[in-house]
Amino acid sequence: MSAESTAESNSAEDNVAGEPAGSDVVRIFDTTLRDGEQSPGCSMNTAEKLEVAKALVDLGVDVIEAGFPIASPGDFEAVQKIAQKFGDQTTICGLARCRPEDIDRAAEAVRDAELKRIHVFLATSAIHREFKLKMDKDEIVRRAVEGVQRAKESCEDIEFSPEDAARTELDFLCEVVEKAIDAGATTVNIPDTVGYATPAQYRQVIETLRQRVPNIERAIISTHCHNDLGLAVANSLAAVEAGARQIECTVNGIGERAGNAALEEIVMAIRTRFDHYGVRTNIDTPKLCSISRLVCTVTGQSVQRNKAIVGRNAFAHEAGIHQHGILQERSTYEIMRAEDVGYVGTNLVLGKHSGRHAFRDRVAALGHSLDPGAFEQVFADFITLADKKKEVYDSDIVALIEDRIGVVEERWQVVSFHTSAGSGSIPTATIELKDADGEIHCDAATGDGPIDAVFNTLERIIGIEARLDSFEVRSVSRGKDALGEVNVRLAALGRDYHGKGVSTDIIEAGMKAYLKALNAADAEKASGRQIAEAAQPARGV
Ligand SMILES: CC(=O)SCCNC(=O)CCNC(=O)[C@H](O)C(C)(C)COP(=O)(O)OP(=O)(O)OC[C@H]1O[C@@H](n2cnc3c(N)ncnc32)[C@H](O)[C@@H]1OP(=O)(O)O
Ligand SMILES: CC(C)C(=O)C(=O)O
């Protein structure tokens, strides 16, 4: 039976969210930009968040939790811009504590979205009540109800989360959920905040809510599972078996501590095991790998090679017996097709004589849509690369696209560079950079090796001292002339920055990566200067 035919056979009884009760659609609520961003080292700027939001819309997620607007002006701005830009295509959600100021700020941030949601949360477990919130059960219920009611004044679509639900006494959880629905919640999310649940136990929590909460059919039951014991995906799927119809998850499973349930794993488990779950999602699965790589690029955090669905080895077969089986019949060792998740292999592609039409087709087939300006830049990079390299692969094109992602304003650009190194000589770099006003700055420095010398020279010209925390280099495709990709992470001006660069010359790739990170630091330094200047009383008036 196809997913579509099952969808048609649903019961017609509607809940207040307009979804048929017992619907076979599992909504994907993506929280990469909120819980994912809470992961150490994963913070993103507004331009990067907009880039990820666009990819999430293209992927087909049902809800984007774009941030926690009260947390900072930057968070507010990102949620507001995402709401303005994408709020007519998918639901944009802002998170709020059960506090009037949080709820009003979240309401303001999502106001311009046609499809909007406010997500209010309050912890309900005994540990959180006693030690964190210092509230008794009555106060929790009162604050939860007041929070939902206040949110309801500015938005129809309200989600309520009893934080740490999986460790909450079941009787009390049922009471809070019932009152939150009566107050107007259209989705009730049951978080396993600390990743403590097991699949059987979590399944039982959802079943109990469905049996004991009299108004439960008026809301969608949602999951939000953390991965502290590596059970986030298994727990989310167990909840689907029990009737949950929204899953909160993040791309690559990033998030607080060990992370959240990984979106790509949830989606492919539901799709691949339709025979078991009998439900479907709205996700365009061939875009899974490209969004995974996008999130790696903007956060500077790569996924491990053996990561399910999106890891480099997810469809690689090394052992002879497996290769033999695959050659006879693919399904002997593969339960899904690489093309169904947009896995980028090493297909030989285009050459320097290829035109824009063929290149645009290939970019689309790789799961990317570029605006005309970015397309022209990537096409120019491709022609330059095809001139240098005998064979250009899909993975090279992906690297070129990602090299352009998140590049908003490059305050400093390379005009030329030269390095010298070798035994018996002192490694030296000489670099010319152009600043935002077009002025050329040239300097030279030495280092422990040519890369160190390049980094020291960049710091001297830009005037920012940085500490290099990590430097990773990998080959993007095969062959000695392969593109090298360098990822750096550095600390400067009290913050962490990361950058990625690609080139067939790994010294140049390292320079591009370090410059991207220093450009981001310098942009923040400049905006800090502007704020400080604006705060000064005007002089000479
Ligand atoms: C499980 C989750 O992922 S929840 C989301 C977590 N995300 C974040 O925390 C985002 C980043 N956080 C922040 O920027 C800040 O913590 C802020 C702006 C939200 C709050 O900052 P502050 O006002 O300085 O408070 P601080 O974070 O130190 O303490 C939290 C306060 O909120 C209260 N609180 C926590 N959760 C809730 C809630 N759901 N509803 C109402 N109050 C709550 C705490 O009891 C504490 O109150 P107190 O200040 O009266 O003691
Ligand atoms: C705000 C809630 C849903 C949360 O992030 C958690 O409980 O982990």
Domain with 476 in it: what CATH number? 3.30.160.270
Quick check: is 537 in a domain?
Answer: no
Residues 64, 213, single domain; the answer is: yes
Structural domain contains residue 327: no
Q: Specify binding-site residues for Mn(2+).
A: 35, 224, 226, 260
Does residue 541 lie within any of the structural domains? no
Ligand 1, atom 20: nearest CA belongs to which residue? 71
Query: What's the farthest any 2 CA atoms get from each other in the chain?
Result: 83
The answer to whether the complex's ipTM is over 0.95 is yes
Residue nearest (by alpha carbon) to ligand 1 atom 14: 71
Tokens of 77: 């701005």
How many whole angstroms separate alpha carbon 227 and alpha carbon 235? 9
pLDDT at 274: 93
DSSP E strands in 142-232: the ranges are 158-163, 187-192, 220-225
Contact 294, 405 (CB under 8 A): yes
Centre of ligand 1 from the C-alpha of residue 195, in Å:
20
Q: Which of 383, 404, 425 is the last residue of a domain?
A: 404
Instruction: Note whether 293 and 348 are same-domain residues.
Output: no
The token pair at 179 is: 């009152």
- Total of domains in the chain: 3
What confidence score (pLDDT) does residue 411 get?
A: 87
**Do residues 279 and 150 both lie within one domain?**
yes
CATH number at residue 83: 3.20.20.70
Do the Cβ atoms of 276 and 260 come closer than 8 Å?
Answer: no
- SS3 category, 331: helix
The pLDDT score that the predictor gives to residue 7 is: 34
Pair 59, 118 in one domain: yes
Cα(459) to centroid(ligand 1), Å: 37
Q: Domain for residue 427, yes or no?
A: yes
Q: Please tell me the predicted confidence (pLDDT) of residue 408.
A: 52
Return the pLDDT at 407. Answer: 55
For residues 462 and 512, membership in a common domain is answered with: yes
Domain of 419 in residue numbering reads as 413-530
Domain annotation covers residue 16? no
Q: Write out the E strands in 245-365.
A: 246-249
Ligand nearest to the CA of 150: 1
What pTM was computed for the model? 0.81
Distance 105 CA to ligand 2 centre (A): 18
What is the Å distance from ligand 1's center to 251 Cα? 25
Residue 314 lies in a domain: no
pLDDT at 115: 98
Residue 330 lies in a domain: no
**Domain co-membership, 125 together with 152:** yes
Q: How far is the CA of 36 from the centre of ligand 2 (A)?
A: 11
Would you state the structure tokens that stand for residue 182, as one six-digit string? 């009566």
Question: 40, 184, 15, 110: which is closest to 495 by C-alpha?
Answer: 40
The reply to whether 91 and 227 lie within a common domain is yes
With beta carbons less than 8 A apart as the criterion, state whether 248 and 222 touch.
yes
Burial class from Cβ neighbours inside 10 Å (0-12, 13-18, 19+) for residue 249 reads buried
Inter-axis angle of helices 356-365 and 394-404, nearest 10: 90
pLDDT, one tens digit for every residue, the chain (541 residues)? 333 333 333 333 444 444 544 579 999 999 999 999 998 878 898 989 999 999 999 999 999 999 999 999 999 999 999 999 999 999 999 999 999 999 999 999 999 999 999 999 999 999 999 999 999 999 999 999 999 999 999 999 999 999 999 999 999 999 999 999 999 999 999 999 999 999 999 999 999 999 999 999 999 999 999 999 999 999 999 999 999 999 999 999 999 999 999 999 999 999 999 999 999 999 999 999 999 999 998 898 889 989 999 998 888 776 777 777 777 888 888 899 999 999 876 555 677 777 888 888 888 888 788 888 889 999 999 988 888 877 788 888 888 888 877 555 678 999 999 999 998 899 999 999 999 899 999 999 999 999 999 999 999 999 999 999 999 998 887 778 888 999 999 999 888 888 889 898 999 999 999 999 999 899 888 876 554 554 443 332 2
**428 shares a domain with 396:** no
Structure tokens at 345: 């292999």
Tell me which of 404, 426, 452 is where a domain ends: 404
Cα–Cα distance, 24 to 276 (Å, whole number)? 12
Q: Which ligand is nearest to the CA of 97?
A: 1
103 lines ligand 1 (CB under 6 A): no
- Do residues 251 and 392 both lie within one domain? no
- 130: amino acid identity, one letter: E
Q: Is 193 in the pocket of ligand 1 (CB under 6 A)?
A: yes
Exposed e or buried b per residue across 237-247, where buried means at least 16 C-beta atoms within 10 angstroms of its C-beta = bbbbebbbbbb
CA distance linking residue 123 with residue 140, whole number of Å: 8
pLDDT, residue 18, reads 47
The binding-site residues of ligand 2, defined as CB within 6 angstroms of any ligand atom, are: 35, 121, 161, 163, 189, 191, 193, 224, 226
The answer on 439 and 362 residing in a single domain is no
What whole-number distance in Å separates Cα of residue 184 and Cα of residue 190? 16
Q: Please indicate whether residue 70, judged by its CB atom, sits closer than 6 Å to ligand 1.
A: yes
> 319 lies in a domain?
no
101 lies in the same domain as 238? yes
Tokens 């993506």 correspond to what residue? Answer: 30
How far apart (Å, rounded) are the C-alpha atoms in residues 26 and 376?
Answer: 38
Q: Given 299, 316, 336, which residue is the final one in a domain?
A: 299
Same domain? 145 vs 171:
yes
